[in-house]
Chains A and B, each alone.
Chain A
């Protein structure tokens, strides 16, 4: 694992893997969308509006998963000073931010016909909105100050408290948002005809996350190389 701390070795691996993850992610997403729109049955209560689930739930899962990856990378950066850990955390933030925004927007589009409101200040929606602002804050921090490595790690780690709060919000508080139907101790409470497209979409989103992460990490490594060259030139002008 530590061998890949070497940016050159990482870059070689990342360059080789990017097209595979990108291709697999797109193919899986197309299959997932086909299953979601053409194969999955309409819900007996919500009709076709329930199809929003196939884009809403995977985006919401990814919003938590990507933040978890960011927090773990930040912890690794703290403990082992792994040079790629900060890069992975920084590269993840915009991806997680987009997934969170998608979860919020598709949730509003689902909430309006089902609850009669685009937005309610219930525990689930509010905690996910806080997650969105955590991502924004983290991105702004990287842009705002020079080398905010330490501050960024702390922000990512402190913000991770929100992750279990989001997951358990539907149990701890009375929410309008429905409870968990897949990640339950007694197994998924959803028909397999709906679970299959949902899982395909979830896997597609995960693979796309890896592809986007590789692309953004490559970008970050190059930017750092460029900065190092510039600093060297400033120190010893030609």
Chain B
């Protein structure tokens, strides 16, 4: 076995080690992306609704 094959085999525990790392990275990444998008969206909506030269009703069709 090559060095990399040994590494990925994780001493026979590959089926447990890799999913544990994968789900950790995936979950934190997903939470970060979802939170960032929602934050940008609500900051944009708040800015729009507070802009006085806009007709206020327009910005509420989004909700």
Q: A226: which B residues are within 8 A, CB to CB?
A: 42, 45-46, 49
A residues near B24, Cβ cutoff 8 Å: 55, 59, 102, 106
| A51 to B, closest residue via Cβ | B17
Is B27 part of the binding interface, using a Cβ–Cβ cutoff of 8 Å?
yes
Query: Is the beta-carbon distance between A105 and B42 smaller than 8 angstroms?
Result: no
Residues on B with C-beta less than 8 A from A37 are 7, 21
Partner of A216, one of B13, B23, B27, B39: B39
* Closest-CB distance, B1 to chain A (whole angstroms): 14
Q: Is the CB of A222 within 8 A of B56?
A: no
**A48 → B minimal CB distance (Å):** 4
Complex formed: what's the CA distance from A29 to B23 in Å? 14
Cβ contact within 8 Å between B49 and A230: yes
Interface size grouping (class) on chain B? 20 to 34
Q: Are A102 and B27 in contact (CB under 8 A)?
A: yes
For chain A, what secondary structure do more than half of its interface residues adopt (helix, strand, loop), or is it mixed?
helix
User: A94: which B residues are within 8 A, CB to CB?
Assistant: 31, 35
Whether A109 pairs with B19 at a CB distance below 8 angstroms is yes
Q: Once the chains bind, are B16 and A110 in contact (CB under 8 Å)?
A: yes
User: Is B53 interfacial (CB 8 A cutoff)?
Assistant: no
Which chain B residues lie closer than 8 Å to A222 at the CB level?
A: 39, 42-43, 45-46
Restricting to A76-108, which residues have a CB under 8 Å from any CB of B?
94-95, 98, 101-102, 105-106
Say whether B46 contacts A223, CB under 8 Å: yes
- Cα distance A20–B32 in the bound complex, in angstroms: 14
Evaluate whether A49 and B11 lie within 8 angstroms (CB atoms) in the complex, with A55-B21, A102-B24 already known: yes
Counting chain A residues whose Cβ lies within 8 A of the other chain, the interface size class is: 35 or more
A199 contacts chain B at the CB level, 8 A cutoff: no
A186 to B16, CA, bound (A): 32
Nearest 5 A-B pairs (CB), nearest first? A48-B11, A219-B39, A222-B42, A222-B46, A49-B13
Q: Which residues of A contact B (CB under 8 A)?
A: 22, 29, 33, 37, 42, 47-49, 51-52, 55-56, 59, 94-95, 98, 101-102, 105-106, 109-110, 112-113, 208, 211-212, 215-216, 218-219, 222-223, 225-226, 229-230, 233, 238
User: Do A48 and B17 have beta carbons less than 8 Å apart?
Assistant: yes
Neighbouring B residues of A211 by C-beta, 8 Å: 32
Which residues of chain A have C-beta atoms less than 8 A from B32's C-beta? 22, 208, 211-212, 215
Given contacts A212-B35, A229-B50, A238-B56, is CB(A223)–CB(B16) below 8 Å? no
* Separation of A48 and B31 alpha carbons in the complex (Å): 28
Shortest beta-carbon distance from B9 to chain A in Å: 8
| A-B contact sample (6 more), CB < 8 A, given A33-B25, A56-B20, A226-B46 | A42-B11, A49-B16, A51-B10, A105-B20, A212-B32, A215-B32
Choose among A47, A109, A216, A219 the residue that contacts B11 (Cβ–Cβ < 8 A): A47
Q: In the complex, which residues of chain A have a beta carbon less than 8 angstroms from the beta carbon of B7?
A: 37
